[in-house]
């Protein structure tokens, strides 16, 4: 593969409160969704995608980042970029979630602060726009409800970006 040609993929999906398994990552629904994500991510790597962007939110963003980092062992040419929406993204998170975040953050190939300030209304949307504007493909885990994931999918559609959706 020619590493001069970078094809970029970003992820969008729900926070734990809007996922069928919520914070319980031991159930069948979680396992099935993770398996689907692993299969899709591997297929896009094999089709030439080598730059992945995660928004580092709890839920799907963190899960996808962890999967990409696992695949880096087998495909060392792939890159993980963390698109951070604000300086204090983890401020209200629990200790275990912050530990997962920090592990990904430290293993990432690139960190992009979409905003250099603390949280403000609209910083997550700005982060999502950055990810879509810099991607050739979106992988979405979507339950059909309105919110940030739907807005990101709709924005990607308006930009004619390819989207692979795992429906919940």
User: Does pTM top 0.85 for this prediction?
Assistant: yes
Range of the domain at 25: 7-167
Query: Is 93 contained in some domain?
Result: yes
Distance, in Å, from the CA atom of 40 to the CA atom of 7, rounded to the nearest integer, reads 15
pLDDT digits (tens, 9 = 90+) for 50-90: 999 999 999 999 999 999 999 999 999 999 999 999 999 99
Number of domains in the chain: 1
CATH number at residue 106: 3.40.50.450
Query: Is 70 contained in some domain?
Result: yes
Query: Is 111 contained in some domain?
Result: yes
Distance, in Å, from the CA atom of 159 to the CA atom of 40, rounded to the nearest integer, reads 22
Query: Is 51 contained in some domain?
Result: yes
Contact 9, 140 (CB under 8 A): no
Contact 116, 124 (CB under 8 A): no
Query: Is 121 contained in some domain?
Result: yes
- What whole-number percentage of the chain has pLDDT above 90? 95
Query: Is 110 contained in some domain?
Result: yes
The total of other beta-carbon atoms located within 10 Å of residue 81's CB is 20
Distance, in Å, from the CA atom of 159 to the CA atom of 156, rounded to the nearest integer, reads 5
Angle between helices 95-107 and 60-72 (to 10 degrees): 40
């Amino acid at each position: 593969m020619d590493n001069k040609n970078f094809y970029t993929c970003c992820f969008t999906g729900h926070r734990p409160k809007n996922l069928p398994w919520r914070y319980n990552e031991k159930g069948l629904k979680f396992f099935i969704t993770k398996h689907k994500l692993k299969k899709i991510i591997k297929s896009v790597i094999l089709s030439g995608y080598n730059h992945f962007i995660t928004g580092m939110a709890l839920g799907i963003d963190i899960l996808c980042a962890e999967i990409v980092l696992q695949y880096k062992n087998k495909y060392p040419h792939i890159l993980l970029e963390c698109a951070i929406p604000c300086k204090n993204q983890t401020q209200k998170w629990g200790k275990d979630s912050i530990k997962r975040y920090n592990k990904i953050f430290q293993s990432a190939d690139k960190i992009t602060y979409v905003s250099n300030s603390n949280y403000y209304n609209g910083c997550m949307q700005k982060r999502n726009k950055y990810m879509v504007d810099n991607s050739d493909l979106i992988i979405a885990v979507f339950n059909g409800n309105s919110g940030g994931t739907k807005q990101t999918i709709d924005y990607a559609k308006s930009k004619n970006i390819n989207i692979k959706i795992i429906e919940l």
